[in-house]
């Protein structure tokens, strides 16, 4: 039987798929930009598919996981076409996520978020263990104990004005939730940076890092996909087995099934 390590190898993940310098940056800062992962043609195809799904699903868009005022959410994208497979099987992204999670991973959810003009501000938050009932608090001194890791797939350029994600570098080491520490988690933080980049970039970030969306002050939606992973013993944000469609199952390799835990 194939295990997750063999599955990752089958999908192209090697020890040097992410460089030593990239691993160090990710360890220290809590995030890692990977430019040029998606081609312009892939970016355009994904934008068009998301637009079609938004129109098709209407008020139900995102209901499988989460809906958000001021943003268009879509969820369960594994089952909405093979076009999205790159977002949870790309070897470079998988290698970086595996580095954060010590090689112990499965897809938790694959969602999309489009911050609408004038909206998109989120409180600084984490997606860490303190939000998972029954999981003990994360120690602050060991990478082997991180529980969750996310990736943002930029489908528009992330600029200072269109609602780019803000992040506090190094905050993944604190093991604390900013909403319990800050007087106003919506307010600007003195140590925050904006995660900027061109469409086609993927930003890996340790989900224990403090992060959140900013206001989209442009005149058009700012689109991104979120490919979110957790350790294999944790519940998924979307139960991939429960939602698996026959046509999806028919196209999956053994390695892909292991990554989805189906």
Q: Which residue has the tokens 């969750």?
A: 148
In a domain, 185, yes or no: yes
Q: At residue 135, does pLDDT exceed 70?
A: no
In a domain, 152, yes or no: yes
In a domain, 77, yes or no: yes
In a domain, 139, yes or no: no
In a domain, 112, yes or no: yes
In a domain, 140, yes or no: no
Position 143 scores a pLDDT of: 47
Q: What is the pLDDT of residues 189-248, one digit of tens each?
A: 999 999 999 999 999 999 999 999 999 999 999 999 999 999 999 999 999 999 999 999
Position 131 scores a pLDDT of: 54
Structural domain span for residue 239? 4-134+145-260
Q: Report the chain's mean pLDDT, rounded to a whole number.
A: 94
**Could you give the CA distance from residue 129 to residue 126 in angstroms, rounded to a whole number?**
9
Q: Which band of pLDDT confidence, cut at 50, 70 and 90, is reported for residue 175?
A: confident
Cβ burial of 66 (10 Å; 0-12, 13-18, 19+) is: middle
Q: H/E element holding 193?
A: strand 193-194
Q: Report how many domains make up the chain.
A: 1
Position 89 scores a pLDDT of: 98
Q: What is the pLDDT of residues 15-61, one digit of tens each?
A: 999 999 999 999 999 999 999 999 999 999 999 999 999 999 999 99
In a domain, 62, yes or no: yes
In a domain, 81, yes or no: yes
Cβ burial of 194 (10 Å; 0-12, 13-18, 19+) is: middle
CATH number of the domain enclosing 12: 2.60.120.620
Cβ burial of 245 (10 Å; 0-12, 13-18, 19+) is: exposed
């Amino acid at each position: 039987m194939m295990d997750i390590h063999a599955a990752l190898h089958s999908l192209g993940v090697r020890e040097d798929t992410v460089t030593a310098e990239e691993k160090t940056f990710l360890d220290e800062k809590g995030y890692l930009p990977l430019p040029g992962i998606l081609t312009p043609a892939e970016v355009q195809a994904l934008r068009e598919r998301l637009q079609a799904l938004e129109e098709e699903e209407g008020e139900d868009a995102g209901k499988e996981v989460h809906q958000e005022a001021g943003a268009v959410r879509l969820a369960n994208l594994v089952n909405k076409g093979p076009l999205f497979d790159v977002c949870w099987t790309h070897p470079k992204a998988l290698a970086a996520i595996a580095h954060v999670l010590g090689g112990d991973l499965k897809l938790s959810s694959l969602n999309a978020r489009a911050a609408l003009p004038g909206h998109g501000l989120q409180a600084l938050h984490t997606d860490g263990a303190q939000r998972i009932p029954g999981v003990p608090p994360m120690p602050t001194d060991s990478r082997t104990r991180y529980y969750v890791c996310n990736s943002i797939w930029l489908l528009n350029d992330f600029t200072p004005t269109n609602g780019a994600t803000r992040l506090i570098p190094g905050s993944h080491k604190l093991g604390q939730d900013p909403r319990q520490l800050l007087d106003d988690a919506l307010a600007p933080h003195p140590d925050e940076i904006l995660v900027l980049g061109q469409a086609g970039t993927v930003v890996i970030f340790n989900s224990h890092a403090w992060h959140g969306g900013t206001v989209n002050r442009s005149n058009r939606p700012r689109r991104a996909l979120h490919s979110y992973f957790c350790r294999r013993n944790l519940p998924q944000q979307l139960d991939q087995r429960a939602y698996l469609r026959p046509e999806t199952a028919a196209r999956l390799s053994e390695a892909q099934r292991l990554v989805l835990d189906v």
